[in-house]
Every structure is written in structure tokens, then in C-alpha cells.
Amino acid sequence: MSLINQMLRDLDKGRGPVKASQIAALQGMGLININRFKRYERLSLTAWGLAGLLSIVVSYQASIWWNSRPESEPAIAPQTATEAAEPEHNAQLDPVAPQDKVNTEPLATTANKAEFKKKPLDMPVLPRAETVPTALPTPVEAASKPVAILTPEQKAERLFARAQQALSRNQQQRGESLLRKALDEHSRHVNARSQLAALLLSRQQEDKAERLLSEGLLTDAHQLALARPYAQLLAARGELGPALETLERAIVQRQADPETLALRAAILYKMERHAESATAYRKAVQGQPSRALWWTGLAVALEQNGQPGQALEAFQRAAELPLNKPVDDYVKQRIGVLSNKDFHY
């Protein structure tokens, strides 16, 4: 397009005659007026123009005939309007291009099309997807995977949980066996040791239970879950001093629960330390005020300590709660005695 614009500017400025080939090309495209040139040039220019126009028409008709053939053609990427127009314009407007080049160019294009049609198209073939079976790990691979290693505490805890399930199903022998295995894994598992001792005491195997509890207290003397049943065994055998010491060691670093306080109060009462026994019983009933036996123990300790008025109140509280018949008869008898105004110590 820049060549055409330059030629038009040259013609408008009257810079002189142009060549016959240039005039023919411009005339065939309808870009100039032939009357502007001299008369003796008209015939030659007209002949050249007709020849160029005829070659264009013939090439155009040949291309139409070729394209109208019924044979199927492969899809060709479309060209833009600028790309399609520039070769044709350059062929017609080139002042030095010979005429035979213009005539043979469409034939070359036709030959290329024929050759292109003869060649088969190689369509890409996608590989067929094959199902790959999932590879199972070999024994060697499975063995190479890291296995979680449990600590003795974790193993003991798992065994203790299994023992709880067995005991809940009344499987006493299996439960006891699992508890022993838990202690073998971790000897300081307090819950397993205390529960195993309770099973032995339920079968009246006091010696085995005492030995099991004493072994646990040697490791940790501050475990109330072990100290309380061990002190009960000692007190039942009449060893009140060691029993009280066992409880005192456990209470030093831990806050005593109501059960431990009531046991300590009973041991103090047997040791005739009534005031201390009454104090311990008061703390116990403050933690669990629904325990009738503890109210009875408090009342007895207060009465032995010379406090009949407070003892009467404790007996009355005990009478309001469920008691077995022998204890209930004793509580009512003491209420009647202490309520009598004529009663004197």
C-alpha cells in the first residue's frame, strides 16, 4: 500500500511520465485516468492494461474452478485480509515484475494445492488410557514404615482400659490379669494398683493386698488412693500409730478428701483423741453432709469430749438420714438420753 500511495503522489505532482508497466498496473486497478497522458501512448497503454486485466481474470476464474471441485479439502488456517491482499497488490504494482510472472503465479499456487491434497493428513492419535493396578505394599515396604513406639506409661494405660472393660462385663479373672500386666509395664500406675488391691480385698486376701499397697507406697508415699486402704488394714490389725502415720504422710502434700478425713477421725477416736476426732469428722461432713455414719461418729466424739449439746444436734442430724437398724436404734437411744433435762454426766 505504501508503493501505491507514493506513485499517486508522483502523478499528482506532475514529475514526468511513468513507465508503461506502471500505467498498466494502475489502470487495471482503476487508480488513474488514462486521459492525462499523450495520445500516442494511449494505444500501447490500453493494450498493456487489457493484457494485465485479462491475466487477472483468467487467474481468478481458474482459482474459482479449482476451489469449486467436489473433493474435500483439509482445513487451512484462514489468512487475514491484509495478508491475502498484499501479495496480489505487489504482483500487480511492481514496476519491474515481468508479465509472465503474473500469469504463472496462480498456477504455482494451484500446483501447491494439488500436492497438498495428495498428501494424507497425519492426525495425532492419543494413547489409549490403561488402568494401572494399585500396587500393594510388599512385606519389606510395610516393615520399613515407621511404627509408633508406645512408652511404658502408654502401654499400661491401654492395658488398664482393657481391664476396666473386662471388669464391667464381670470377667474378674481376665480383668485381674490385665491389671497385673499393666503394673508389669509401669509399676507406678496408681489406678491399676489400687483396683487390683480392691479385688484382692473383696476375696479376703488381705495379705496379698497389703503387700501390693506397701510396694506402691514405697515408690510414692503421697498417693491417697494407696494410703487409705493400707491404713485401714493396719488399723483393723490394731496398728493405729502406723495407720495414722500413713495417712498423715499422704495428707501433707495433698488436700485430704472426705473419705480420708473420716478414716483419720475414726483412727483418732480409737486412740481416744476425741477432740481431734470431732474436728476431723466436722470437716468430713462439711464435704459430704449426707453421710449418716459420719454424723454419728461426730456425735459420739463430741459426747466423749464432754459436749452433750453439740452431740445431741449431731445425733439428730444423723437420725434424719437413712441408717441400718442397729445404728438407728443406738442414735434414737442417745437422742432420748441427751434430751432428758435430768441427764447429767
- The per-residue pLDDT for range 280-330, each reduced to its tens digit, is 999 999 999 999 999 999 999 999 999 999 999 999 999 999 999 899 999
Confidence of residue 48 (pLDDT cuts 50, 70, 90): low
Return the percentage of the chain with pLDDT > 70, whole number: 56
Region of poorest pLDDT, from 86-100, 230-244, 268-282 = 86-100
Q: What is the distance between the alpha carbons of residues 58 and 46, in angstroms, rounded to a whole number? A: 18
Q: What is the distance between the alpha carbons of residues 183 and 194, in angstroms, rounded to a whole number? A: 11
CA dihedral 85, 88, 89, 91 (to 10 degrees): 160
Q: Could you read off the pLDDT of 131-188 as tens digits, one per residue?
A: 555 556 565 555 556 667 889 999 999 999 999 999 999 999 999 999 999 999 999 9
Region of poorest pLDDT, from 14-28, 115-129, 252-266 = 14-28
Residue 215 has pLDDT above 60, yes or no: yes
Residue 335 has pLDDT above 80, yes or no: yes
Residue 3's pLDDT is 40
The domains of the chain, with CATH numbers, are 2-65+89-107 (no CATH), 150-254 (1.25.40.10), 255-345 (1.25.40.10)
The model's pTM is 0.56
Q: Could you read off the pLDDT of 78-131 as tens digits, one per residue?
A: 444 444 444 444 444 444 444 444 444 444 444 444 444 445 545 555 555 555
Q: 323 in the Ramachandran plot: left (φ > 0), alpha (ψ -120 to 50) or beta?
A: beta
Residue 208's pLDDT is 94
The C-alpha angle with vertex 151 and arms to 149 and 157, in degrees rounded to 5, equals 115
CA atoms within 13 A on the CB side of 286: 9
Residue 89's pLDDT is 44
Three-class DSSP category at 239: coil
Closest CA to 277 of 295, 302, 259: 302
**Positions of E strands within 78-204:** none
Report yes or no: 318 and 291 within 8 Å, Cβ to Cβ: no
DSSP-derived letter for residue 71 is S
Q: What is the mean pLDDT of residues 208-217?
A: 94
Q: 204 in the Ramachandran plot: left (φ > 0), alpha (ψ -120 to 50) or beta?
A: left
